[in-house]
Amino acid sequence: MRKIIHCDCDCFYAAVEMRDNPALSDVPIAIGGSVERRGVVATCNYPAREFGIHSAMPMAQALKRCPHLIVIRGDMAKYKGVARQVFAIYRDVTELIEPLSLDEAFLDVTNVTLCNGSATRMAEAIRQRVKQEVGITVSAGVAPNKFLAKIASDWRKPDGLFVITPNDIDRFVQQLSVKKIHGVGPRTAEKLAGLGIYTGADLRARPLTELVEQFGRFGQRLFELSHGRDERPVKTHRERKSVSTEQTYPHDLPTLQACREALPTLIADLEQRYARLDPSPGVRGVMVKVKFNDFTQTTVEHADPAPDLAQFETLLNVGWARGARPVRLLGVGYRLAEDTTAQQLTLF
């Protein structure tokens, strides 16, 4: 059985700003774009969250909820430097690290002998070192698999540690709200509630065939997670599946034609991002994302190994027709081909 630690820095960007300016520690702050450029909240500290502010919220809405909110543009180069310090501490424990973002990672410590092999003591040692050497806090979850470790790290945030032992799995999962399961968004939660499913115990009470019939392949995943099963290993190398770019406009694009005129600039930026990939993977499809001025959004995709402007325009036409209203954000992207490199095996 594996020993997995999930480490998650608490309100990472905001934590770095509060570390560098302690006067910000007890006042609401948000990191993100300006109202004038229709920016959104990248993250915020806990005093700001008391006002209902959260990541991805439009900054204008955040300021309505908290007029004295301090908005900081942010410094990505600084945040990346801090992340490197944090990950260096992780690497002192294990090389089996799967980064999920700048501030979040899975660590496989199954065969690590530090702390007499205790994953709980390793997690606490990591948290103490990050606090002392970097000056921010990390919440950690310890469990026999990635699914449970990620849930555990959020259980006692901020600056918390929660452990799910093998003997705890059955009891913990049965009482777990399905809303805590990764992949269960508002719509899926609503559908589950319509079926009378609110907890892991409710999921267990349903046969696998019913869950697959209702949710397709995700039904199989729900069935496995309701029993606390997750066999995914910690992957030290993650295969990129897409590359994309998007733009929020200072003023809504009022018509389909205005959206079409904005496409070439977006596509040029996308091609530059794609060109920086090394090695360059193949392209297996294209996508266009449209967010309307009422914040509804849609994404249109099509398999095409040789995309051009006309293909993007066709997808834009389809996406725009789904809302047929002014557009605040456009995005374009490539779906990337999987690595099909094969290795010839010996006969014996």
Distance CA 315, CA 286 (A): 9
* pLDDT tens profile 220-236: 999 999 999 999 999 88
Question: Does pLDDT of 97 surpass 90?
Answer: yes
Question: Does pLDDT of 280 surpass 90?
Answer: no
Distance CA 83, CA 104 (A): 9
Question: Does pLDDT of 37 surpass 80?
Answer: no
* Angle of the 76-91 helix axis to the 119-129 helix axis, nearest 10: 140
% of the chain at pLDDT higher than 70: 97
Catalytic amino acids?
A: 104
Average pLDDT, integer, range 20-27: 94
Average pLDDT, integer, range 202-209: 93
Q: What is the pTM of this model?
A: 0.79
Query: For residue 343, what pLDDT band results from cuts at 50, 70 and 90?
Result: very low
**Binding site residues, as ranges?**
8, 103
Average pLDDT, integer, range 130-152: 97
**Binding site residues for Mg(2+), as ranges?**
8, 103
Average pLDDT, integer, range 14-30: 95
Phi-psi region of 225 (alpha: psi -120 to 50; beta: other; left: phi over 0): alpha
Please name each of the domains of the chain with its CATH number. 4-12+77-165 (3.30.70.270), 18-75 (3.40.1170.60), 169-226 (1.10.150.20), 242-336 (3.30.1490.100)
Question: Does pLDDT of 339 surpass 90?
Answer: no
Distance CA 274, CA 280 (A): 7
